[in-house]
Amino acid sequence: MALQDVSGFQDTPMSHMWNSPASLSGPMGDTTPLLDMADERILGWGRFKSSERDGGVPLRFFIPPPQSSVPFRCDNRHTSLSSLSTSSSPPTRRPFPLSHGTTTLAFVFQGGVIAAADTRASCSGLVACPSAQKILPIHSHLLVTTSGSGADCMLWERILAREIRLYQLRHGRRLSITGSAKLLSHMLHPFKGTDVCVAATLCGWDVEEVRVEEFKGKRVDRMGSGRDDSISPAKRPVEETVMSTSDACSQDDLTDSACERTRHAVTDVDLTRSPVRDRCGPKLFYVCSDGTRLQGELFSVGSGSPYAYGVLDGEVRWSLNEEEAISLAREAVYRATHRDAYSGNCVDLFHITAQGYCRRDREDLREEYHRERERVLKRGKEESEEDKK
Amino acid sequence: MEYLIGIQGQDFVLVAADNVAAHSIVKMKQDQDKVFKLSDKILLLCVGEAGDTVQFAEYIQKNIQLYKMRNGYELSPTAAANFTRKNLADYLRSRTPYHVNLLLAGFDETDGPGLYYMDHLSALAKAPFAAHGHGAYLTLSILDRYYRPDLTRDEAMDLLKKCIEELNHRFILNLPSFSVRLIDKDGTHDLEKLIPVGAK
């Protein structure tokens, strides 16, 4: 993809759609945009358009010509009780069943963001892969948990990663989590009504903003986190939030920026209240290929999500400590995999703090099942002993 | 599933929207704001299909702001409503229609308060009171019965509360809270969220 961009290879008839002013003001359609060609040149957008070929939506796919059954969009929307993971009746017959079932969850608490997911990739009754990875890191402070069609998720995660990196290179600062969610949502919107099925939660930590009013006297450089990961901490005032140590976390062997646990200067984050609405701090967004984009503090997505919600809704609190949060996430995924046929095998747990994300070893849920059985047996013995007394 | 209501008084418009963002049987979010501020004295309330609502409302919102930037003055509520309707109609006749139901409420210096009802087929009607959603079937008769053009702010609030209590009583879905806003000559005011309590 990068090579394609650099070489300016335009291989699809649809590419003009993304670069035309219509795309910049709205989705495809014969609407006359608010800006016409004359204005575009006046504003210098003509230059903008040609130099930044990708405008804002740089997609070079071949999009199949619209089916004659396009009007289905209008009526199928009211089938609101259609299953969570499958899309409404497709216009064309799929050549093979797509994989959908999954359980992913993420929530925010005082120690950051926990993201957890199972590892079963199912394909309507067959376990296609028992060790899929559904939580994909984009950069050191952003993870995507994916659900829906496996191929779509993989592709769109890569596209999102590319766009975030391009933004960083063009603007010299990292795109915020809110911006990343909006970017993904706007990129997915034109594919609404097609078979693209992506339901992702973006979990991350915004280290960017410096609250100027708190630092009136001090000159604190605006953090271009990620711009130069090799800046030594001694050069700038480092104020770290109080983070619980993550001894149990293992280093991830993926991207370089993820492995380096660079310390970023962060503002004093008030840990006594939930800062999700603030510009800095933990963030959680749910983005779906039907266009939904929601910010929240707890999301679970996939066929196993109702079971996970059942466990999480009663227990998730802002004041959890790290161990409790991780074991809660593990249990929620375990319960969902116990009940949902399309989720299972292992659980991946990730924890994001101001220092970046940290990945735990993959855990087999079979062991959790055995541990629970022992717990139940032990409890049964204790109760019978008490009854005897 | 979702609910919007608007009541126009002599010199104000009172609007309310529920706060649930749902996906099939699950409430994904319980504090979703469905009111979009188009300008100081115009609000757009938008419900409908999942992604379409936010996309369309933000599109209208940004274009209204762009108009102000380019021309130096804000669009009147009537003009904004007609602009919105025209966009909705154009998209309706394209390959990618937006399935949204809207209420646009505003206060104009010369014309006074205005409430505009718009549906997904881009019909536009200026109305003294309006509602969207399944809850509208239950509450329009209440509005018919008790509405008067010379309602005071408190009376309009009571009427709104009556409607929400009726929903709490009769509507099969639980809508736990509603955001309420008021527009008058001084601009938009956020009022307290209405939280219907207890089963009847």
Residue scoring higher pLDDT (A226 or A340): A340
Q: Which of B21, B93, B97 sits opposite A294 (nearest CB)?
A: B21
Tokens of A135: 């939580």
**Residues of B numbered 22-61 whose beta carbons fall under 8 angstroms of chain A's beta carbons: which are they?**
23-26, 28-29, 32, 49-52, 54-55, 59
Distance set, CA A375 to CA A327, A338, A382, A384 (Å): 15, 16, 10, 14
Compute the nearest-CA separation of A298 from chain B (Å).
9
Complex ipTM value: 0.84
Q: Are strands B100-108 and A121-123 parallel, antiparallel or unpaired?
A: unpaired
Contact A34 B66 (CB under 8 A): yes
By percentage, how much of chain B surpasses pLDDT 90? 92
Average model confidence (pLDDT) across chain A: 70
What confidence tens digit (pLDDT) does each residue in A43-56 have?
443 333 333 344 44
Give the pLDDT confidence score for residue A90 in this predicted structure.
Answer: 46
- CATH class as words, domain B4-194: alpha beta
Mean pLDDT of A160-184: 94
Tokens of A340: 């949902």
Residue boundaries of the structural domains of chain B: 4-194
Q: pLDDT band at A122, cuts 50/70/90?
A: confident
Give the pLDDT confidence score for residue A258 in this predicted structure.
Answer: 38
Q: Which of B25, B50, B94 sits opposite A30 (nearest CB)?
A: B94
Contact B96 A293 (CB under 8 A): no
What confidence tens digit (pLDDT) does each residue in B18-35 have?
999 998 888 999 999 999
Q: pLDDT band at A93, cuts 50/70/90?
A: low
Name residues whose C-beta falls within 8 Å of residue A16's C-beta, 6 or more positions apart in sequence: none
The DSSP line for chain B is ---EEEEE-SSEEEEEEE--EEETTEEEESS---EEEEETTEEEEEEESHHHHHHHHHHHHHHHHHHHHHHSSPPPHHHHHHHHHHHHHHHHTSSS---EEEEEEEEETTTEEEEEEE-TT--EEE-SEEEESHHHHHHHHHHHHH--TT--HHHHHHHHHHHHHHHHHH-SS----EEEEEEETTEEEE-PPB---S--
